[in-house]
Structure 1
Amino acid sequence: MKYLGMIILMVALSNTFCQDSPDLSKVTHRPPTVAGAFYPANADTIKKWINEYLSPDEPLEIKGDIIGLVVPHAGYVYSGWVAGKAYRELKDRKYDAVIVISPSHTKAFRGASVFKGDAYVTPLGIAKVDLELSKEIAIVFPDVKFSMDGHSWTEGRSEHALEVQIPFLQIVQSGTPIVPIVMGTQDFETTDELVKAIVKSVKKLNRKVLLVASSDLSHFHNQKQAEKIDSPLVEAFSKLDYFKMAMNLYQDKWEACGGAPITVVMSVAEQLGANSAHSFLYATSATSPYTATDSSRVVGYFSGALYNDNSGQLKILPELNEKDKKVIMDYAKKSVRSTVLNTSIDIDEKQFSDRLNDEYAAFVTLKEEGMLRGCMGQTFTTSSLLNSVIEAGRLAASRDPRFSPVSEKELDKLEYEVTILSRMKKILNPEEIEIGRDGVYLRMENSGALFLPQVAPEQKWNRTELLENLCRKARLPMDAYKSTKAELYVFQAMIID
């Protein structure tokens, strides 16, 4: 009878975990699919490796409430030690659930897939799913669905990016249920819908959650190139600038296979109270102390945390003195003049303060006899503040589609205003907009429009009038801002006139 029982158990497990196309509608536990490849298949070895990565003898770095993590997902011998720098910070912290978000490397599908099973299984055992929270997230938008897409192990190569995070969580958050989510598309719409679905569901169910974004960074450049590509992304993370990160990823200037999971976790974490970001470690596959690859072809890895430090907000605008402001205004004028006269500008940034070399977007507004003559700029930048102002001046003088280019005879009549922008902060409720303090950027499908903070007071608009005129500027219906497809961002500004 003893052997008969073992045979029955083996048959049952075979029917459940077999690679030969089980009925996924009946499978409730996802088996380990990359154990023995990306991480050890032996439970004792997993524990040994992870405990070493967690560096138990080193002091912790974060004292505030950790709400989100970003960790890599390569094989443990390459990136496990980088992930460990983040996971070690979870010691003695308690959460109701951990939401893990990864990209899909193996299956193409629209939207995001919230795992519809009961558990993920690794050699360490079962990691139960918070089904109530999972189902709640999956009912908000059609493209954020309760499904097996991206979680399956029967359609060729199985997804590793999410699974490799589970053993870490089983050790540092033992018994805490998970919500596994795989993103099939990483466009703005999917990202926005997933952010809104998670925030709404977490608040509705009053869950204290940890969010984990699974992503590697640049792929297959040499060590020097990888560092050059990845360092701006890490800096944007440290400044909580998910808008800038998303735009640079969209334009293929930066690389991260899980770029959208990172920006989702950053956005949600801020909505849930995070006001600070910390970078633990950047490394590459060539710098692993366990198994290093050739430095001519590396993959970038990064770990970081999003948290509430109970000390206020990040610095959002530069600290400029009167000399700095004069330099900025002088170069705004030089830029307009050189554009109109088709001459060049000589710039020696070394003679200016370092504050002018910080990265900030800017707008230049031109008026003639009190009437608007041009206003152009950027919503984000990878250039210095001074270069942003010069570029904005050039655009305002020649590229504002509402006006003809400025002529030479107008130069002496122009009035100038320079607006320096903070990062864009996502809001989920228009009531958060404060007239006079906030500029607003609206994005919806292929349309977008922006108003600087000074526009609404100048026009004597209330919040509703501001939003309606913003929709009109974007050539959308006047109530488009109410749509679930509309994205709203606010920003603050420093005005120099």
Structure 2
Amino acid sequence: MGAIRKAFISPHPPIVVHEVGRGEEKKAAATVEALERLAREVAKIKPSTIIVTTPHAPVFQDYIFINHKDGLSGDFGRFGAPEVKLSYENNLPLAWEITRIANSQGIPCGGLDDILIRRFRISEELDHGAMVPLYFINREYSGFRLVHIAIAAMLFKELYRFGRCIAKAVEQSGENVVFLASGDLSHRLAPDGPYGFNECGPEFDGRLVEYLKIPDPEAILGFDEGFLEEAGECGLRSFIMMFGALDEFEIEPEVYSYEGPFGVGYAVAEFTPTSRITGETLLDRLDRRDIEEMSLIRSNEDPYTALARKSLEMYVMNGTVIDIPEVLPEEMRSGQAGVFVSIKKHGRLRGCIGTIMPTRENIASEIIHNAISAGVNDPRFPPVTEDELDDLVYSVDVLGKPEPISSMEELDVKRYGVIVRSGMRLGLLLPDLEGIDTPQQQVAIALQKAGIRPDEKYTMERFEVIRHR
């Protein structure tokens, strides 16, 4: 049976490569020393395969790139050292098995076809996120095969689950594996750094290093995405994949080093899986919590959200439009209004379609058709699939009659939605949306949705909603 013998977190600043830094690497001496130690530890293990996850391979919103190229190679030409080259045999059987297992778990991943690669000029060469730590390893140990994997902008729990898929594939492979999670920490540690300073940067690095020392993967998964954006982090998703691969084991951690030269945080750390966990793992616990939370949401549905959910489920599973149920509140059967149906999956928008004014015989019919449209016709998202249905959360906004306004001062983002019009162009934004704090923001987004420039003439209307969740 194969096993991940050790996992490592490594930064990837090309400047620590001597041929690139030409002496400047001395400013990151602690990192260089730690990477040399990492390489010696890998040499002791003598892995048959190294799996590297990196934020600088081709990154997609909802697809994890796993390099399926026969040979994997790269150089530091972009950084002034084209003579430094690395090349490896791709462990394709393991790469394909990771792909198969993850796809069976509903995680989209795999290689890229030649047409896509040419059209978007995507490189399958080894990126510097993989190259920097491998440069140090190569000086101590060679002869291993490589699996090259990119991060993705997926939910953290799905990246963690993907890591567990990696572990399962390794166990089935018989391979002796080292997992290398490449990633810098904050890029916003100093005013003279490449991305300036933000107070969230040092806070992020401090918290993350403490979580690594414990280790506490649950706390790492719990970082707020808005905070991470402010902090300018780089490698968290790579680290989450690594911890997912160790989910079924107790972990012995050691942080070799942390420093922040050049305004960027660099951490080097080792994680050794020890005994297998006999009870509930973190992923098991997260899944159980999600099931309990969704059960509570479903039990608290009102007739509006329940109808939206049942309408989309019927359409996705059977391709038919649900009949209006006999037992509904009178206002749903006899009233008319514009209706917006919003769908979220794990807290992220999955679809939103609506009507400003009534277009159907009653509110119930409006909900039915707009719920289906939100699920399968929102051009921003692919159509909802049957295996997603259990993860969807619905809200229904019943719109009041719009009234003209002459100034943003008549808006209240919590109470009123806004409609902007210029000729045939129209944009609408619902009230009380996360991240919308001022009328200026509200109107700017509505204008953008309508394709109206701020310097054009336009009219505004406000409206109230009754929101059902």
TM-score, normalization: structure 1? 0.46
TM-score, normalization: structure 2? 0.48
Q: Which has the higher helix share?
A: 2
